[in-house]
Structure 1
């Protein structure tokens, strides 16, 4: 083992959240359930913990943990996260701007969420890397971005399923600024989005028809799809080809590497085409070509400034071998980032188990690549 491999790894977790329920719209869930549960978090957490008393880490226990976490301040949430890592670990903290998803009022003002992150950065100047959530529908968003970068924010966060395409013209000034400053950008890129716009289905379909770039060759289908599936067109990885045409020097990380479903389909391709009609064969071929894992993997080879993190998607160990194999490809090895999606990933696995299981499987050399070497290049000298 070489000397540099034996050296301590400075871990960079490139995808975590510290937002609380006060950053979530009142109608995110029907009937004001978010507020109702939050105000009674102790009761509901205890109830969930005791549904299966003989087990101490079942799904109900994990929901209980998430309820407790979401009730806390951003500082308490961040401090809780830090205990699972070495003291010098660095965290890209991604806020959310859900004010325009048409799900009601957000109790905490957006800039208050950012101010709290900057206060944490004062406490932990080396560990805390706060990003700015960007939504093109927010008034003066370009000015807000520039102001908060000057105050100490390190990058940008996009979440297209909230109701916009990443090539929205209103983002151009922000992209130009980000390219000039070499600000890293993290954008949600997973299918079947759990957090998505609540706009009327007809309105969303009309938006997709009007704004989906025809040069991408994507033919949208709408029958039987709800907003959760329709917003895949907003977050589709191919959309970033349009962004890179205008801004080829942007640094963008596509979060979740397409999502768990796409990794699953890649590992277990359909056999429907065997002995099927020509129509069914074409449909099966189209399914393979539309696999987001494959699309992102190919795009990494094409765009040297494109990255992808493995947050949430790699919470299931059955996908570890796929990651191990693609990390041996020098064409993409330098563009894959470690991230967990704390605190959301707690619904599947604990933070400590996620990172240690992955590190133990990959070994020190490959883990260093995704948790230290690549993140340092992605973050650059911004923070």
Structure 2
């Protein structure tokens, strides 16, 4: 593949993951599979079986990998030596094949017997021609391996040493993907991806696998994940990439984090912070090759405040701040300050990542000070915006029955009813693009702040902080500060299913708004050509509008709203609509709609195509296509100008790269 040449800007993949399996909770099947099976389908067990039995890794260097890797490598070398030495005896390879066949047959027979205890191969008339051989096979197998434990050990040995058996087992596992239920299929694919990348013990190696499939000089936005609070099992205290000892923070130059300090021992139990420290190391060694983001979860911020209040001398807080007289957030000594305002600007992280499907709204009160900080510093926010297998696995909460901001109708007497009964269905409500309108539009944002002001669960300190940041929510003249300039990127652009929903909805009035009103799209929560809120329209959009139309309308109305095409770009069917979106023409615009009077929108400078980003969702998309396949396909199906726009120009404005 050719390198970036000439004066072209570097290619930037705006959506990639490199975290290892140590940062993923083990019970991903919880909430999808039946309770007992979800506990049996332990991710760590699945990874171990796939890693060492079904598809063990053969390192080219015997000094790398685990003990099992080295043994496998030595066996491979021995087999190669024997074949080289005795190739002039044609019968030797044939004998080896016969031995393999004789070992595979009893393996299959044992597995069949597990499903049918009364199975006897001699009972089948069609097998009478080899009846004597089959009876001998049954006798030998059952006499030598009468106990279940012996049979399991035998099968594991055969799987480990015989590649043909592993290939057969792997083919059977792949067929399971065709079982009914999209969540079951998606979950199994996710398990396979975790197993595929389990061989990598650190994020450095995963990054190398990613960048080796791109031209030299390509840059990557690296998105971490904090899955501690998704109720899918505990995380390991010390990830394998830290090996035998916990790396001291910058060699111990941070006060309170020496080799034997209590803070260092506490850090050893902070799985997510260890992930972030490795990303910081990567940033230090790889420089502009990566643009790491910081993950935000409200529950971590709440837990952090509680721990600090109970024990001020323990590990420093994740987020701590002061509010200046101008209403700006000033970071105190905390982990976020370490990543966002480091002494060495070369180590600065590039943005925030949120994943609302883990059980929170993007307008959670804990996040609002950070969103004000993001606006003041023009920091981009990447939000997951599709449904999938990563979501909150705990019990549904009663407070989830109603939306915190939107109402059922214009009478504004009852909040919008959210009717899902299972947590996996609630991820759609948390991830919904219309939640971000509550942040972007000043009137809705003021409504949100007013709700927090009268909420008995919100502390007086939090209420005062919101007033200092944004002004009094009851003020008739409006807020002194708002979040309309928040820079948000909708990851996955709503998802493949929502794009297809848009294409087939020929009679849905909401999906046709982009044609009827090409300049600004749907009015969403407002009356058309009016500044007046319409809770009825908001409810209709929430329940009936596809997410492609919704996100595209937000992009047409707010100049700092972006979307990337990660994961769904594996499907070639999206490219006609993608090309249409990149070439979207606003038409002749005479006036700005009244409900957008607060937006600083320069139409010639903010075309829709200028805020679409190239991203792949490595390594989650690997179950469909490799990175080099995705890159080649995208370049082939888009013009050079279109590809350079989404992969070179737009990412620079998104990441504030000069």
How many correspondences in the alignment? Answer: 361
TM-aligned CA distance change 1:7 to 1:357, over 3 Å: farther
SS of equivalent residue, structure 1 residue 132: strand
Query: 2:224, 2:353 within 8 Å by CA — same for their partners in 1?
Result: yes
TM-aligned CA distance change 1:231 to 1:216, over 3 Å: farther
* CA drift at 1:113: 0.2
Taking structure 2 as the reference length, the TM-score comes to: 0.51
Separation of aligned partners in 2, 1:168 and 1:161 = 13
Taking structure 1 as the reference length, the TM-score comes to: 0.85
Other-structure match for 2:195:
67
Counterpart of 1:233 (choices 421, 429, 437) is: 429
Other-structure match for 2:290:
128
**CA offset digits 1:67-101 (Å, max 9, x no partner):** 22144111111100000101211100000001111
**Which piece of structure 1 moves more, 38-47 or 310-319?**
38-47
| Structure 1, unpaired ranges of 5+ | 274-284
SS of equivalent residue, structure 2 residue 299: coil
Other-structure match for 1:296:
551
Separation of aligned partners in 2, 1:323 and 1:80 = 28
* CA drift at 1:209: 2.9
* CA drift at 1:351: 1.2
Query: 1:12, 1:371 within 8 Å by CA — same for their partners in 2?
Result: yes
* CA drift at 1:311: 0.4
Separation of aligned partners in 2, 1:38 and 1:207 = 36
Tell whether 2:217 aligns with 1:20.
no
SS of equivalent residue, structure 1 residue 238: helix
Tell whether 2:45 aligns with 1:36.
yes
Other-structure match for 1:222:
419
TM-aligned CA distance change 1:247 to 1:10, over 3 Å: same
Counterpart of 1:113 (choices 267, 275, 280) is: 275
**CA offset digits 1:221-276 (Å, max 9, x no partner):** 425x5322211110100111112233122211010000011011112227799xxx
Higher relative CO (Cα under 8 Å, sequence separation at least 6) belongs to 1
Query: 1:66, 1:347 within 8 Å by CA — same for their partners in 2?
Result: no
**CA offset digits 1:33-72 (Å, max 9, x no partner):** 211122331323367754577xx9x979997565221441
Other-structure match for 1:373:
649
TM-aligned CA distance change 1:327 to 1:216, over 3 Å: farther
Other-structure match for 2:490:
254
**CA offset digits 1:10-55 (Å, max 9, x no partner):** 21100000111110113233226211122331323367754577xx
Counterpart of 2:404 (choices 205, 208, 212) is: 212
TM-aligned CA distance change 1:124 to 1:50, over 3 Å: farther
Separation of aligned partners in 1, 2:291 and 2:408 = 34
Query: 2:579, 2:638 within 8 Å by CA — same for their partners in 1?
Result: yes
TM-aligned CA distance change 1:354 to 1:212, over 3 Å: farther
Tell whether 2:103 aligns with 1:103.
no
Separation of aligned partners in 2, 1:329 and 1:197 = 36
Other-structure match for 2:311:
none
